[in-house]
A and B are shown apart, each in its own frame.
Chain A
């Protein structure tokens, strides 16, 4: 059971918009810790997609966007493309784990492009 809750799967047709939620609690997202998102293509290492709730690293298309409100965060993907089919993970910190260094991940969401 992950500290951060994500839907196991989402799907959408090419060109559509999908969102992936990441729900936490008052000891992690709700405590003000930033949320970060990663994309993991099949057989590869995770790649940073969004950092600090809504910032895109250079090279990440602006079709990807992140937001945070209260104890939850969301990743939105617009103009869905076949190459977006991957697993997506949110990550934050939890003050109840290991003092100030308790990193936590969501369980991951598999995005299927129909």
Chain B
């Protein structure tokens, strides 16, 4: 059974860079059938897609975050990572990683399964 687990600091200072890693177990991140994605949810609010990555390294980002986001993949460790620079209090959220199941070669599909999520608070 595929499982995903987010890890990283729970507190980040304003203007610094948020860094999270998602470790995939029970399956290979290098599978050609899937993309891998990051989604966030501010407290009490809805879901926001941050970006997606293929095992080859191809990335797709939310235009509203694109200038600050970098998603990378490490197939040797079966992990993918998120970096969000110049954070502010508005970036405080639960960050989820998830597998993106696509029936085509494009990152258009559904997210399943999801990691349990990790709360990142931006505060000095």
Q: Majority SS of interface residues in chain B?
A: strand
Taking the closest CB of chain A, its distance from the CB of B91, in whole angstroms, is: 17
A45 contacts which of B46, B48, B103, B117 (Cβ < 8 Å)? B117
- Residues in A whose Cβ lies below 8 Å from that of B37: 103
Please state if B114 and A100 are interface contacts (CB–CB under 8 Å).
Answer: no
Q: How far is the CA of A70 from the CA of B114 in the complex (A)?
A: 29
Query: A22-38 toward B: CB 8 Å interface, digit per residue (1/0)?
Result: 00000000000110101
- Residues in B whose Cβ lies below 8 Å from that of A101: 51-52, 60-61, 106-108
A57 contacts which of B49, B112, B114, B117 (Cβ < 8 Å)? B112
- Residues in B whose Cβ lies below 8 Å from that of A97: 62-63
Chain A contact residue count (CB 8 A cutoff): 28
- Residues in B whose Cβ lies below 8 Å from that of A44: 116
User: Which residues of A from 96 to 114 have beta carbons under 8 Å from B?
Assistant: 97-108
- Residues in B whose Cβ lies below 8 Å from that of A93: 108
Mind listing 28 A-B residue pairs with CB under 8 Å?
A2-B46, A33-B108, A34-B110, A36-B110, A44-B116, A45-B114, A45-B116, A45-B117, A46-B111, A46-B114, A48-B110, A48-B113, A51-B109, A52-B103, A89-B46, A91-B47, A93-B108, A97-B62, A100-B60, A100-B106, A100-B108, A102-B60, A102-B62, A103-B37, A103-B39, A105-B46, A105-B48, A106-B46
- The 3 A-B residue pairs with the shortest CB-CB distance, nearest first, are A101-B60, A103-B49, A48-B112
Interface residues of B (CB under 8 A from A): 37, 39, 46-49, 51-52, 60-63, 66, 96, 101, 103, 106-117
Known: A51-B110, A103-B108. 10 other contacts (CB 8 A): A36-B109, A36-B111, A44-B116, A46-B111, A98-B60, A100-B106, A101-B52, A101-B61, A101-B107, A103-B107
